[in-house]
Amino acid sequence: MIDNDFLDIKYFGKLPMIIFTERGWMIEANERADEFLREWDQWLEEGRSNPEMSYLKDRNRNMILLLLEKIKETKDKKYIPYLEAWEKN
């Protein structure tokens, strides 16, 4: 993953930390946005009407914008209650 420019090593003091490269994060953000959308689909199938949306707070802004774009592309109104619940946070 490091050789293919998906991950990199950064040092914070003496401690090494594995981080995403820009290229790696683009892929991971897309995957994570898809996971959130699949999670919402599952909740909707289970009949969850008012899920707790605070878990989306303080997430990477570009990933959140990507999630919103994916929701928009579906043109499915079933997500509106979840978006309204999210807005309250």
Share of the chain above pLDDT 90, in %: 93
Question: What percent of the chain clears pLDDT 70, i.e. is strictly above it?
Answer: 100
The answer, yes or no, to whether residue 49 has pLDDT greater than 90, is no
Identify the residue whose tokens are 């991950």.
7
- pLDDT surpasses 90 at 89: no
What would the mean pLDDT of 72-79 be, rounded to a whole number?
Answer: 96
Going from N- to C-terminal start, the domains of the chain cover 22-87
pLDDT of amino acid 50: 84
| Cβ contact 67:37 at 8 Å | yes
Predicted model pTM: 0.82
Helix, strand or coil, per DSSP, at residue 19: strand
State whether the Cα torsion 81-85-88-89 is positive or negative. negative
